Amino acid sequence: MNAEQIVEKIQDKRGASLNVRLVSEIEALKSHAGKMVQKITEMTVISGVSFENRKDVREAIEAGERSEVGSLKWGEWKQFPFVISHKGAEYIRLYLPSQAQQDSGFCRKPSVKFYLDGAEISRAQAEEICGSKAKARENAEGCMTVKAANLEII
């Protein structure tokens, strides 16, 4: 999907939970040249909100647990608060559900699968082939910027 198609689907759902699938190709290390691992992540996200207006962000600022929200670290807003443009590519800004939303039980816990030549492989195997690019990363900020071409609304 391109950014315009995604925004069409989500613009009327500001702040609503969306089930998404992120599909990306992870390049292999030189020692595994020619191999490409596909990573598929399914999860619930929130879109169409302004990061600084999130309750958990406001509370963290008030408690001194984080600094004020600044400008984008890279890229520029093409269509606030949905699309960021950077070096000719378009990205969709998504947010992880708050802890309260996660605790409600209505959010899909992130599920990650890796595939090599169409066959599912373990994360350990993906890390062996792709190195640190396949490692799980903690998202302390609660926001993600995802390449529009890698995103499917499910």
Identify the weakest region by mean pLDDT among 7-21, 45-59, 116-130.
45-59
Placement of tokens 């989500």 in the chain: 10
106 burial level (CB within 10 Å; 0-12, 13-18, 19+) = exposed
| DSSP for residue 13 | G
What's the pLDDT band for 149 if we cut at 50, 70, 90?
A: very high
What's the pLDDT band for 136 if we cut at 50, 70, 90?
A: confident
Q: State pTM to two decimals.
A: 0.82
> Taking the domains of the chain in order of start, what are their residue ranges?
3-153
Q: For the segment 64-120, what is each residue's pLDDT rounded down to a tens digit?
A: 888 887 788 899 999 988 999 999 999 999 988 877 788 888 788 889 999 998 999
Rounded-to-5 percentages of helix, strand, coil across the chain: 30, 35, 35
In 3D, which of 130, 34, 149 has the Cα closest to residue 121? 130
How many separate helices (H) and strands (E) can be counted in the chain? Answer: 4, 9
What's the pLDDT band for 47 if we cut at 50, 70, 90?
A: confident
Length, in residues, of the chain: 154
Q: Decide if 90 contacts 78 (C-beta within 8 A).
A: yes
**In the prediction, which pLDDT does 36 show?**
92
